[in-house]
Amino acid sequence: MATSDIAEMADVSRGAVSNWRKRSPDFPAPVAGTPTKPLFDRAQVESWLKATGKTVATDDNLDTWSLLNTLREDLAYADIGQLALDLACLRRIHETHEAGDSAWAAIHHASVDTLMDTLRAGVEELREVLDLPYVPRPYLDIRPEKLVLVLLPFQAIDLDDLPAVTDYVLARAANAQVRAGVEHGFVDSRISRILGTLAGPDAGGTIYDPACGIGEALREVMRTHRAEHDQLMGPITRIVGHDINPAATTIARQRAYLRGEAWELTTTDVIARDPDPALQADIIVCEPPFGQRLDHAELSDPRWVYGMPPRNSTELAWVQHAVAHLAPGGRAFVVTTMGPLFRGGPESAIRRSLVENHRVEAIIGLPGKLLPHVAMPLAVWVLRPGNSDGSPAGVLMVDGSQSSNPEAEARRWYPEPPNGVPAELVAPRELATAAYDLTPTRWTGAPSLDSQAAFTSYTQNLDRLNRALDQVAGLDRPLRGFDPLDRPRIVTVGDLVEGGVVQLKTGRLRPEDAAPHLAGNIIRPRHLRDGELPNQPPGEVLGATSDLVMDNWFHEVENHTDRPRPGDVLVSTTNPITTLVYGGEWAILGAGVQSLRILTDQISPDYLAAVLLGPWNKRFLAGGTIGRAKVQDLEVPLIALAEQHLYLEGYDRLAEVAEQARLLAQWAEETRVAVLDLLRAGAPEKAAD
């Protein structure tokens, strides 16, 4: 087992496993791997977890992956995934074809000496039954003793669970070796889920993916279609996939076979030559590779009717390929980077032709980091066929770039986004004035042309601004009558700790090292900066509401050694120094946060929190780009308790003035913008008498 497998088994983070190894002398030693990527004996780890009272979760997915992972020194992760698929498919062939002399039967009963010959026969059976292209199987060249153990789970797993188990193995393999996922596609790809969410509910007839990879987008369309299927929707009658990578189409064909589905899959270079010009699909999903050159396209290819794609990018070639293969009434959903939406030259001309011919129905902007190898934001083009009825009013622009969960929210964005979603239907004439720039953020922030709405906004903002001016005018002068104090005694926090005035506690817990049910209640430095501490209700954290579960959670948090108490002064000394008087109940100190608990009545918590922010303490920030101070070095002007309260009264009044000034500036700016909106929209029409 790798450390990531142990973390999953124990339902903790990898960091927690690393801490166990460092702090527990009896933690099992590695039995294989390398110093940076050690492997552990599963039985030893399970025994240690049970002996120390920790969680031990087992399932077919993890058990199978743990056994396959013993081959990591001999095989690339992609080849481990291929081995899992081959064994699962051979088992299904044996069970569904009722073939007593099947390759799986021979493999199951083979000795170490005959195992490799039976596996080679199994590969031939796979190629014959599933019509697979030739793909090398490096596992046929390793020692048979290493393969014997990995056969065991594939005999015991329920036939209906084989797709989920192999998908789990493929996902773990791709996460461990991202390059393989880039070439083949990722199981549980976030982009594929978004495509399935958009296309699946209305899917029917022929579904097509011209860059199908391992078939994840097609699988997501099928999954969503089944989940939302009703009597008004037609069945999916045909599934077609093309891809240039034979290893990817092999995996896609095997994944479909394990689910009992017949997919028409072809290994071909779609962009260089259209493999099926007559193909007409009702739904097309496409998550093509990014950053590829167009080196082999023919100028005479009828797909490029909207313009010859530039040589340095294939993205608008995929868009035009999708349009060329749409059936009447169909829709295509094609993912690209943001560049094709705004770049000039040939791409601008293609966008113009697509828009003028009513082929672009919507552009949906997505956030970045949706793929392990792509940090940049992406976009989905929603395309219409050339023979659609009627001319649309414009192109629907949807900005989902700020969404934290686009997989779940995408269904609301298209085809009719509700109020609150950043969306705008942009007329072709407006796009023409902007060189057909289809970037959603350019259009979704445009000011409204509704003159009545603009006038209402202006009057409301002006009224709010005038009320703010009245409030500022009525404020007390906070420093009136405030006499300077005699020079106080200056002490450090360290002096207060040594004198028994305050107790210092340093938080050490990180969310990644904490149990999942506590991770959401750990105080981090950013919480102090934002002024909002975590205080999640236990039912929300645990996903459960039973009295026993709730009581156990309350008891664990209440008795945690790093739990602050109301009145403690929380401090973060990473630049800038921030403080907060704790008033919550169910939070735990995290790394980078310290608490000062006042043990006498000599100092007010509010006073201590305020003076620690004094500009004189900035000189203690030291280190690299982000300075850090030692909390014990921070200086406190020590004055009598009554004087502390007098000081705080003036300090709080200044804080009130600062807040009112901030609001005044904000509302003045909003009123200024409302004036400009009103200027653009014009006077509202007067109501008829």
Q: Is 446 in a helix, a strand, or coil?
A: coil
- For 480-502, write each residue's pLDDT tens digit: 555 666 778 899 999 999 999 99
d(CA 370, CA 405): 10
- DSSP annotation of 512 reads G
Q: Is 492 strand, coil or helix? A: strand
For 89-126, write each residue's pLDDT tens digit: 999 999 887 655 789 989 988 888 999 999 999 999 99
Q: Give me the amino acid identity at 462.
A: L
Residue 634 CA to residue 611 CA, distance in Å, equals: 9
Residue 216's nearest CA partner among 246, 197, 251, 189 is 189
What is the pLDDT at residue 581? Answer: 92
319 or 203: whose pLDDT is higher? 319
Residues 6+ apart with CB under 8 A from 555: none
**Apex 131 CA angle, 127 and 135, nearest 5:** 50
Q: How far apart are CA 26 and CA 22, in angstroms?
A: 10
pLDDT of 180 reads: 52
Token pair 């009057």 is found at: 459
Q: Count Cα neighbours of 605 within 13 Å in the Cβ-side half-sphere.
A: 18
Q: What is residue 558's predicted lDDT score, i.e. its pLDDT? A: 80
Confidence of residue 184 (pLDDT cuts 50, 70, 90): low
Written as six digits, the tokens of 657 are 């003035």
Task: Please give the angle made by the CA atoms of 364, 370 and 372, to the nearest 5 degrees.
Answer: 150
What kind and span of H or E run contains 212? none
Report the chain's mean pLDDT, rounded to a whole number.
Answer: 85
**H helix or E strand, kind and range, residue 637:** strand 635-638
Highest mean pLDDT among 3-17, 136-150, 216-230, 338-352: 338-352
Query: What pLDDT digit, counting tens, does each position of 286-325 carry?
Result: 999 887 888 777 888 999 999 999 988 899 999 999 999 9
CB 199 within 8 A of CB 333: yes
Highest mean pLDDT among 194-198, 447-451, 547-551, 679-683 belongs to: 194-198
415 prior amide bond cis, ω within 30: yes
pLDDT at 373: 66
- Residue that is written with structure tokens 């083949």 in the block: 184
Q: Contact, 337 vs 313, CB < 8 A?
A: no
292 Cβ partners below 8 Å, 6+ apart? 313, 314
**Average pLDDT estimate for 22-41:** 84
Under the banding of pLDDT at 50, 70 and 90, the label for residue 537 is low
Tell me the mean pLDDT in the region 47-67: 79
Q: Is the dihedral of CA 371, 375, 377, 379 positive or negative?
A: negative
How much is the pLDDT for 448?
47
Instruction: Tell which residue, 275, 280, 255, 252, has the closest CA to residue 265.
Output: 252
